[in-house]
Amino acid sequence: MNLEKRKYKIIEKLMEVNDEVTIYNLSKILNLTENDFSIPEHHIEIIDARLDSYSKNTSQIFEWNDLKNQW
């Protein structure tokens, strides 16, 4: 499996994690700080709407490399 597919699989699994301690520990491993998670207030509603849409329409999510190769 190539690197991009492995990263994608890891991201998929991370999206299933609902444990705050696990996410905190992963953040520490990746050297992420609170500043790395700050989102401008005016973007929060947009992001929430997109995440909600993605979770309801998972069949409509495309792999970027597949789409890029079609063009």
2-57: pLDDT as tens digits: 999 999 999 999 999 999 999 999 999 999 888 888 888 889 889 888 888 888 88
Q: Residue 21: how many CA atoms within 13 Å on its side-chain side?
A: 0
Cβ atoms of 29 and 23 closer than 8 Å: no
- The domain spans of the chain are 3-70
The one-letter amino acid at 3: L
Backbone angles phi, psi at 40, to 5 degrees: -55, 140
What is the pTM (predicted TM-score) of this model? 0.46
